[in-house]
Amino acid sequence: MIIAFFAAYASRPIEPGGMVGLDRAPVLRATTLASFGWLVFTMWGGALSDKLGRVRTFQIGYILLIVWLVPTFLMIDSGSIWMYGIGIFVLTLGMGLSYGPMSAMYAEMFPPQVRYSGVSIGYALGAILGGAFAPTIAETLLARTGSSLSIAVYMIIVCVISLIAVSLVKETKGVPLGVAKHTS
């Protein structure tokens, strides 16, 4: 959403009802800077998950996202490039904390014999079902409601579902990853 939807939403022409209409070049620069924040926060989230645990780091990330999504859309809708940049940059903190522990947690959830397949299939299905349709859903919500807050509510619902799901996962930090010795 941050790469595909937010930049397009913020830079669309002003419509009746006051959609934002920011210049595309500054929006893309702000989005690029936020993407670097996302990279840094993802690395920090991975390191933090080695200390706090995978589940706790995910939970913190999702809670930050839930709390910050409405302010993000209000900041974007303000029509200020600075507010846009700050809004999405702060959003990347929660995103990084929910992305950082992901690969370690997924690898630790599967036994060595099926680890690659389990992680690959699980991640691919999640990315397709959870992420690929998100911009389309966001555009549909915006067209039907005329309010970006409907998108924030949609994203909050997805984050709440994710928070509940990750809270039901057994902590994987420290799970041995070794492959058992094979005998011929």
Among 40, 134, 42, 34, smallest CA distance to 83 is for 34
The reply to whether 174 falls in a domain is no
> Which CATH number belongs to the domain containing residue 82 in this structure?
1.20.1250.20
The reply to whether 179 falls in a domain is no
- The pTM of the full predicted model, rounded to 2 decimals, is 0.88
The reply to whether 182 falls in a domain is no
* Residue appearing with tokens 């936020």: 34
Q: What is the pLDDT of residue 184?
A: 47
CA 2 to chain centre: 8
Kindly give the parts of the chain with pLDDT less than 50.
182-184
End-to-end CA distance of the chain: 49
3-state secondary structure of 170: coil
CA 74 to chain centre: 18
The reply to whether 115 falls in a domain is yes
Per the structure, the complete domain to which residue 102 belongs is given by: 2-167
pLDDT tens across 84-97, in order? 999 999 999 999 99
> Based on the structure, what is the number of domains in the chain?
1
Among 172, 168, 136, 167, smallest CA distance to 66 is for 167
